């Protein structure tokens, strides 16, 4: 299988979601989530299309009846299509991340992303801007 092994379909279904960090083509980190979808899984960028609110804040995605729930405004996204038909994010679709399942194992196969780590973005990966040696505090 071409691609990076992420986890198993069983793990995603048992935990309701699986959070991981990817890097885009410029090396910038972003979060993605695997969520159960009928018999398989789908992967989405981990943020609501309305206000870039994280859907999984590190404790799993809130879901009801096969829909991901935005914790800020309650918009609900279909876990299989990523489409939202209600709330502040109505008529939008979550950005997809391509994955492939083979023998119950999920692989990242999206040419636009590389796997960085399991879980949320590591604070060490974040660029806090230039370091300063100034004696003035803000």
pTM exceeds 0.75 for this model? yes
Question: Rounded CA gap, 13 and 41, in Å?
Answer: 8
Q: What is the pLDDT of residue 127?
A: 46
Q: What is the pLDDT of residue 101?
A: 97
User: Do residues 113 and 97 make contact, with C-beta atoms less than 8 angstroms apart?
Assistant: yes
Q: How many residues comprise the chain?
A: 138
Q: What is the pLDDT of residue 128?
A: 45
- Show pLDDT as tens, one digit a residue, over the chain (138 residues): 789 999 999 999 999 999 999 999 999 999 999 999 988 999 999 999 998 899 999 899 999 999 999 999 899 999 999 999 999 999 999 999 999 999 999 999 999 999 999 999 985 544 444 444 444 444
Extract the tokens encoding 2: 């071409």
Q: What is the pLDDT of residue 124?
A: 54
Which CATH homologous superfamily contains domain 4-117?
Rieske [2Fe-2S] iron-sulphur domain (2.102.10.10)
Domain spans in the chain, listed from the N-terminal domain onward: 4-117
Q: What is the pLDDT of residue 17?
A: 96
Q: What is the pLDDT of residue 38?
A: 87
């Amino acid at each position: 299988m071409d691609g990076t092994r992420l986890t198993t379909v069983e793990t995603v279904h048992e935990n309701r979601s699986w959070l991981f960090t990817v890097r885009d083509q410029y090396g910038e980190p972003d979060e993605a989530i695997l969520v159960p979808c009928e018999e398989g899984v789908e992967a989405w960028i981990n943020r609501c299309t309305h206000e870039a609110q994280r859907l999984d804040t590190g404790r799993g995605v809130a879901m009801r009846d096969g829909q991901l729930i935005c914790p800020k405004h309650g918009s609900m996204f279909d876990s299989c299509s990523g489409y939202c038909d209600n709330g502040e994010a109505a008529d939008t679709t979550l950005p997809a991340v391509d994955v492939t399942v083979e023998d119950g194992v999920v692989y990242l196969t999206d040419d636009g992303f590389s796997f960085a780590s399991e879980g949320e973005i590591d604070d060490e990966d974040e660029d806090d801007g230039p370091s300063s040696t100034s004696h003035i505090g803000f």
